[in-house]
Amino acid sequence: MAFEVPPLPYDYAALEPHIDEATMKLHHDKHHQAYVTNLNAAIDKHPELGSKSVEDLIQHLSTLPEDIRGAVRNNGGGHVNHSMFWQIMKPKGGGDPSGDIAAQIKADFGDFESFKKLFNETTAKQFGSGWGWLVFKAGKLAIVTTANQDSPISDGLYPILGNDVWEHAYYLKYNNRRPDYLAAWWNTVNWDEINKRFAHAKSGK
């Protein structure tokens, strides 16, 4: 069974005005699809890997055949990162965090505004293409960035949330103003989904 792009769980225009319809169409239908197509092409060369989950593949990159390791790192990462990304956003999202993640943000960053500021500043500084992430490490929340499509999963860390700062994620609407995109993105976040991911991260599975 080949990997597939999961359907977007809302309309392409549903995150307007924060993320525009044209960006969502290209991002989901073209960029995510390209990662999946290229991942499948890599796995086709080693059909014995076809039964593994994409998370399993990128968590154990060093065990993969050398001829496809780079392709799985980039395209498997692209697949798992974007599959998360669509889920952690929703129409009429945003607002203050709820549930366990709200309490943990307060404990580890003081308050939500301080957390957002630190996340946005850290992620704005990621040079070139990459992602900003919230992970749970040694009993605390931590903000990290990765280059390209590298996933915290490859470092044994489960991403609670992540924002895509490749130019394809924002350039049509925000041009070179990455900080404006980062600030607006919080209006799309789906705290219910983020709480589910936080519970998973805490479980250590």
Name the residues that contact Mn ion, by CB under 5 A.
164, 166
Q: Which is nearer to Mn ion, 24 or 201 (CB)?
A: 24
Residue 195 C-beta: closest distance to Mn ion, Å = 23
Residue 8 C-beta: closest distance to Mn ion, Å = 13
Positive or negative, the Cα torsion across 6, 152, 137, 120? negative
Q: Which is nearer to Mn ion, 166 or 174 (CB)?
A: 166
Q: Which is nearer to Mn ion, 109 or 166 (CB)?
A: 166
- DSSP3 helix / strand / coil % (the chain, rounded to 5): 55, 10, 30
Residue 154 C-beta: closest distance to Mn ion, Å = 17
Q: Which is nearer to Mn ion, 86 or 166 (CB)?
A: 166
Tell me the residue nearest to Mn ion as measured from the CB: 164
Torsion of CA 183, 74, 191, 16, to 10 degrees: 50
Residue 5 C-beta: closest distance to Mn ion, Å = 12
The b-or-e profile of 141-172 (16+ CB within 10 A means b, else e) is bebbbbeebbbbbbeebbbbbbbbbbeebbeb
Q: Which is nearer to Mn ion, 19 or 101 (CB)?
A: 19
Q: Quote the tokens at residue 44.
A: 């086709």
Residue 7 C-beta: closest distance to Mn ion, Å = 17
**Cβ–Cβ under 8 Å, residues 117 and 143:** no
Looking at residue 165, its amino acid is V
